[in-house]
Structure 1
Amino acid sequence: MIKIISDSTCDLSEELLNKYDIDILPLHVVMGDKEYIDGVNISPDEIYVWSDEHKETPKTSAVGIGEAINLFRKYIDAGEEIIAFAISEDMSTTANVMRIAAEELEKEDKIHVIDSMNLSTGVGHLVVEAAIMAKNGESAET
């Protein structure tokens, strides 16, 4: 079986995440002197409000290596293969963090990290399409 995972920049609704059984690795969002976990203790609406009020774009930091390892291990231990999507490597080191997590688990052959070369809806479309393909029995190589 194939498990689809994405970082939180895919901006998919809870409805789509549940429908396609997609897990999220949240990025960290830095707004002023406070740090939040995207989608956990701050919502997109709150980010937009802060950005409008402060006339600046919040900073982000990649997912933590421990967070990636813990999520990946859950599915690897269950015998699943993982396809993990990340925000464009031109914008974040998230894809590299995911690759390092795969190396730490010694499962580079079972964890396939995809640099989406995109952000937001662009990532989301790729993630949903991969989830549909996995649900239809396609292999990770496809």
Structure 2
Amino acid sequence: MKKIISIIAIIAIGAFVGNMLNIGLSHAIYWQSLDPNDFMKFFVIDFPLLLVPTALTLMPAWLGSLFMSLKSDKKSESRKYWFFAFLALTFTIIQTSIYHLPMNLDFMALKYDDITATIKLNGWVISHWIRIGIAIIGGICAILGFQKSALNQ
């Protein structure tokens, strides 16, 4: 069962990173090309479409890394790497919940004037790339955790 959960977690982390890369390399660039008010109006449609794949990839990644960090042999390298993967994904959830989600809701509410919306979106994009980097580190740790557990069996 641990092997199956490990594989699911690694695949889910990869899917989450892919989803985040898609947002950063396509959606964010498009958003930044729009007039700020047009961006916020478009975001009302775009954000809900991005929310579902984000949640559907992040949750199994996070739960799988949590399970593996708890069920791996105590004091093993495998457990350490799975715990680091779990921490990285937890950080992305915290970052999303505290920074991105409130701003997303404000964009959808057309809360900002043009200058503020532009500044907020640019900060959002920078923070998004940091989130991607952290998720990639989490994925590397998950793969290392899986490799270490496979070597010990």
TM-score normalised to the size of structure 2? 0.32
Larger relative contact order (Cα-Cα within 8 Å, sequence gap ≥ 6): 2
- Larger proportion of strand: 1
Q: TM-score when scaled to structure 1?
A: 0.34
